[in-house]
Structure 1
Amino acid sequence: MSDKKVNFVNPDCLPVEHVTLTVDNAGVVRQIPALDPYWVEDRLLIVYEKPPLDSVMVFGAVDTWRASMTLYLDNLKWLLSLEHHRFWSVVIYHPKCMDALVSFLQESNPPYMPPYENTEVQTLYGDIRKYIFIVFSRLITNKESKTEWMTKEHMSALIYNKFVFTIPILWDLCLEYGVDNKQHMSRLMASVFTLQPQYETDAKTALAFVTEAFKYIILQVNKDYDSDEPPNLPETFNGFSEIHRPGNSKHNDKLTFNILQDLIIHLLDTAMTLRLFLEVYPKSVKVFRETNFVNSIVQMYEYGIPMLYTKLKEVGDRRSTGYPA
């Protein structure tokens, strides 16, 4: 449990990772590192939840969401109000802190979606969005004053080993803030990749995963579910995630509108994320070149997108459960 009566004292202006603070608890004097679980308060940090949809609105749902997300916003403000060493101690050692922060990035509206119709919902959502960005901006700031700072070497290890920033988190930040906060996002991304070069290697691994995801989408829309014959695709697809039709049913294995919708939204999210990643961090073009990612883009345009249009025409609309007879 954190003792708020202990003031942060650093007369020698040491980096925070080398600072210890004196704690006097009922006459028992202890030396506690400035970055330590001791400074973590027992506070409930909830995760972000999407607002209720207008189409499935339940009486009182908006009020319930607002009450819960007001608490979420209060937690963000509380986190930002903490002193430098307490802020970082909570981020590192509170078991739910990063989950709470990342949950917004995972559940937020992508920039191609319209604002929420309910003005109260949109206002609260906008406030949360702003404070999340401020928190992540603080997480890449190594010096807040001459007495509250950490070395870049320590921050580099901290943000990487404690998963404060990962490629999925960085890409989610690009998607959420890369459109209307491009300049700030450029500085954030440059800082992260400069501090920790290992992220470049991780980006290559992530792009390899995207390549596999693109292949999966292409296979889904090219597969003839009424035939055991493999789809007519390049040799690079041979042996990749073969889609087998269950032996007890042909009809249930066909693509539906909902499945196609999921594939299209995933493709749209991925394409926009990668575009914004390149825009806010142009140096990442090196990673795309070294992984030959352009080949995946070419394959998607040649074998994926045209068939997505074809399958959508075949399925018809969201009420369809399979291909027309």
Structure 2
Amino acid sequence: MVDKDLDSGNSICNPDKLPLGDLKLTLIDTDGIRRQVPALDLHWLTRDKPFNSYVCILSSYGRTKSGAALEEWHHIAASCLEDFEFLLHLRHHEFWSYMLYDEAAMTAVVTFLQRANPYYRKEVESSTIGEHDAALTNAMTLYAELLNRAVRIIMRLLTAQESATEWITPEHHSSLLYDNYLMSVPVLCDLVIAVGDADANNLNILEQIFETVIRIQPDYLKDLQEGLAFYENAFLSMQIQVDNEGCEGAGGGTLLDPDAETPYDDVVLFALDCAYTLRMLIQLCPELLEACEQLKLVQIIANFYDLTIPLLYRNIYLINAQASSLCWLNEARQQFLNVVRRITQAQLQTGHGKQLVELLQECLSAQTFVIDYQRQYPVEQDIAILVERCPNIKNYKVDFIIAGYQKTLGSCTSGVIAEKQIPCSLKSDDECGEAKALRVQAALPAAAATGNSNSARDIDLEVFAVLDVLPDLGMGFIRRLLPRYDNSEQAIAAILDDNLPPDLVHMTRQEAFIPADPQDKLQRETGVRHYNVHDGDKYDVLTQDNPQCIIKQGKGLPGAPWNAEQLLDDKRDIGQLKKRYEQYSLVEETPHETGAEYDDDYDDSYEALNYGQAPPVQSLLRAKLQQASAASSAYEAQDASEDDQDDDYEMAGGDDERKGSQNANTNTKRNDFCENPEITRARYQQRQMTKYGQRAQANVEGAPKGQGQTQQTTRNRSQKEAHKSSRANHNRKAGAAFKRSKGMMS
């Protein structure tokens, strides 16, 4: 039993005006015993009814519930409203006791904020309400009351003093909020998305909440700064989900929700939520801008904008060109650009010129981001302001950035991103379809570029490239797969990783390709059907103006001879040979009088004949050849001995005349690279006549036949017959050695 004084008023309960942490209330039990109970205690939890868990009024992907589902939501929402009203009507110490010791009380508030309607979808919700749909009108009114009560509970948590007798010390208040997780960064993010800045009053309330939270506990600012690092992991997660199309539950996996238009709707909504949350956090807490610079959040957004968003557009567009997720993704793009704009404006106002120049320079590699950002916020305007405020900025860096952004924008031919997002549900069905088409064209540079590039691709060549690696696949399956990727390498990687688009996962991979019949196309164009194997191809003279073949008209082929006489009279080959041999006449011949070294105009057979009649000068090579010869006569040995004696005699001196002639010949021979064969032949004949006399002229002809032959003629003939294998033309090796010994080239 509670003391009467406890129910008479708060001033009597706390006459000393103690803070909540030091306050103790007096209770009287049923046996009349008084006892002191702290103001924060489990004793004050007297509620028997459990707190309800809120359910979102929106079904999957932004559709409002209707029918029985809406009635069920209305019942749950009414119970939650009663719970919130109960918490707000509690006395100061009871409210804080429920918040601290009853987890279900705070869970009900957090669950509502997590499942609340995003503020950027409110226009969609209101547009679906008809004038005579009272149930949906009441539902939206009830939701507005729920949101109002939830915000009031958050603000009561942040209020340290409600009256002169109901207050908490700042240290205790900070400890209660921070240590018990009554207020956290996730709660603040959910609150931002639930309230939003669509209305000026809502924005003022959020600003007051953030200012109060950071004032009560400065550690919340550190938590918010650390929470910004989550976005890098969030962007990486979305990129992985988009790349892993075949993974169940990922961006391109099986449709787990029948209401989803594409497998990428979850990823797009997550990106949209991240974009709005990040923009609101920076707007409500400017102290986070410094952390954004340190984390290089702008560069992370630019890379995500350039790599993941175009791929999302292309995949969604190929599956469903009228999907609502294309509009959502376009909104996310706009919000990401607004985030970057706020960061750059903050750097410009604070005079961080060097950081701004480096930021813009690093973003140049993300061409898609650069194009949209330059269209929305031309950098030359910011640079002009920056140069005035920071004159120390180097001009060449500024000129490089301006030229880079302008050149990138000038090379793009796609449409401009929508500056103002117009929800499709605000229009009629026909206008909605047109608006979607226009916005998809405006916000789909990557998909459009991919479509243009696919038209210029050689699909047949890429099909064979895939078959070289995976020969078990069918050409029909490969032709269905290749348009989904930029090249054959990406298609092969997707097949090997089992990461195929959802509509091709269960397709037969051995599907054959049946090409279109050219006769059918020809019949549609001309109305005439032929039955020739070459109908409609590049050799068909009936459909091609310039067929790739020779058209034969009349007898023979074009340019061919008409008859045998014309064929035999063709002298073109002879003319070609004549031109060929005329090229050899281009070698210049120098006359003997002008200093030619060698002029060989005699017959070598004459020298060979003389060599066969008499032995050459003794040399080392000839000696070896003679030793190896199997047949040698005494006459030859005697000739060789006499020849050696003559050589010795000549080397010893001889008479003066011969010595003078020999010295002259030696000097001439030494001066000439190759001695004149005429001189050599004359000297050889002179020596033969001197040594042998008449024997040098061996007569083998003799008298005419029938008149008898002399004994010397018969002997000469026998000698010649016996030794002809080692002399004359029968021993070319010895002849070549002789010519070399005389200084002549063989």
Q: What band does the TM-score fall into relative to the shorter chain?
A: 0.7 to 0.9
Q: Deviations along 1:89-119, whole A, 9 cap, x unmatched? A: 1111112011100111111110121225310
Q: 1:82 to 1:263 in 2, by over 3 A?
A: same
Query: In structure 1, the residue corresponding to 2:35 is in which secondary structure?
Result: strand
Aligned to 2:91: 83
User: 1:289 Cα shift?
Assistant: 2.6
Q: Distance in 1 between matches of 2:205 and 2:147?
A: 14
For each residue in 1:40-87, what CA deviation from the matched residue of structure 2 results, as whole angstroms up to 9, or x when unmatched? 12232111112375777454x333322222121111111111111111
Look up the match of 2:295.
Answer: 291
Is 1:65–2:73 an aligned residue pair?
A: yes
Is the 8 Å Cα contact of residues 214 and 221 (structure 2) preserved in structure 1? yes
SS of 1:96's equivalent?
helix
Q: Which residue of 1 aligns with 2:137?
A: 119
Match in the other structure for 1:241: none
2: CA distance, partners of 1:71 / 1:37: 24
Match of residue 199, structure 1, among 188, 201, 220: 220
Of 73, 76, 82, the residue aligned with 1:74 is 82
Task: Return the offset for 1:315.
Answer: 2.2
* Structure 1 SS opposite 2:98: helix
Q: Does 1:167 align with 2:177?
A: no
Answer yes or no: is the 8 Å Cα contact 1:174–1:280 preserved in 2.
Answer: no
Q: Which runs of 5+ in 1 are unaligned?
A: 226-244, 247-251
CA distance in 1, matches of 2:237, 2:286: 28
Per the alignment, do residues 153 and 11 of structure 1 end up closer, same or farther by CA in structure 2, a change over 3 Å counting?
same
**What whole-Å deviation, never above 9, does each CA across 1:125-147 have from its counterpart, x for those lacking one?**
11101111111111101011111
CA displacement at 1:149 relative to structure 2: 0.4
Contact persistence 1:189–1:281 (CA under 8 A)? yes
In 2: Cα distance, 1:169 partner to 1:224 partner: 32
Give SS of 2:26's match. strand
Equivalent residue number for residue 218 of structure 1: 239
CA distance in 1, matches of 2:154, 2:268: 29
Counterpart contact for 2:253–2:502, Cα < 8 Å: no
Q: Distance in 1 between matches of 2:186 and 2:193?
A: 10
Unaligned stretches of 5+ residues in structure 2 = 130-135, 324-500, 508-746
- Tell me by how many angstroms 1:204 deviates: 3.1
Aligned residues between the structures: 298
Q: Please tell me whether Structure 1 or Structure 2 has the larger radius of gyration of its CA atoms.
A: 2
Structure 1 residues 76 and 57, CA gap change in structure 2 (3 angstroms): same
- Tell me if the contact between 1:52 and 1:65 (Cα under 8 Å) persists in the aligned partners: no
Q: Which one of 496, 503, 508 corresponds to residue 322 of structure 1?
A: 503
AA of the residue aligned to 2:503: G
Report the Cα offset of residue 196 of structure 1.
1.3
Name the CA distance, whole Å, in 2 between partners of 1:213 and 1:83.
42
**CA distance, structure 1, for counterparts of residue 287 and residue 2 of structure 2:** 44
Task: Evaluate the alpha carbon distance shift between residue 303 and residue 4 of structure 1 in structure 2; reply closer, same or farther with a 3 A threshold.
Answer: farther
Counterpart in the other structure of 1:229 = none
* Cα shift at 1:287: 2.9
Establish whether residue 49 from structure 1 lines up as the match of residue 230 from structure 2.
Answer: no
Change (3 A) 1:119 1:100: same
Q: Give, in angstroms, the shift of residue 4 of structure 1.
A: 9.4
Q: What is the aligned-residue RMSD (CA, Å)?
A: 2.7
**Quick one: which of 160, 163, 179 aligns to 1:142?**
160
1:189 is the counterpart of 2:197: no
Cα deviation code 1:158-217 (max 9, x no counterpart): 111111111110011111113131111111111111211222232233222221010111
In the other structure, the counterpart of 2:118 is: 110
Change (3 A) 1:165 1:282: same
Q: Per chain length, whose mean CA-contact separation is higher, i.e. which structure has more relative contact order (CA < 8 Å, sep 6+)?
A: 1
Q: Percent identity?
A: 31
Q: Distance in 1 between matches of 2:158 and 2:215?
A: 11
CA distance in 2, matches of 1:115, 1:144: 36
Residue 17, structure 1, aligned to residue 18, structure 2: no
**How far apart in 1 are the matches of 2:93 and 2:241?**
50
Amino acid at match of 2:311: M
CA distance, structure 1, for counterparts of residue 14 and residue 209 of structure 2: 28
Q: Do the aligned residues in 2 keep the contact of 1:204 with 1:291 (CA within 8 Å)?
A: no
Hey, what's the Cα distance between the residues in 2 that align with 1:206 and 1:4? 48
Query: Residues 137 and 56 of structure 1: is their aligned pair in 2 closer, same or farther, counting only changes over 3 Å?
Result: closer
Q: 1:106 to 1:148 in 2, by over 3 A?
A: same
C-alpha change, 1:101 and 1:253, in structure 2 (3 Å) is: closer
Distance in 2 separating the partners of 1:144 and 1:214: 43
SS class of match (1:322): helix
Q: How does 1:21-40 map to 2 (within 5 A)?
A: 21-26=25-30, 27-40=32-45
Q: Is the 8 A contact 2:207 2:284 kept in 1?
A: yes
Secondary structure of residue in 2 paired with 1:115: helix
Q: Which one is further off, 200-209 or 69-78?
A: 200-209
- Secondary structure, in 3 states, of the residue corresponding to 2:238? helix
TM-score (norm 2): 0.38
Is the Cα contact below 8 Å between 2:120 and 2:196 reproduced in 1? no
- Residue 155 of structure 1 aligns with which residue? 173
Aligned to 1:260: 264
Residues in 1 aligned to 2:74 and 2:64: alpha-carbon distance in whole angstroms: 18
* 1-structure distance, mates of 2:80, 2:146: 8
Which structure has the highest helix share of the two?
2
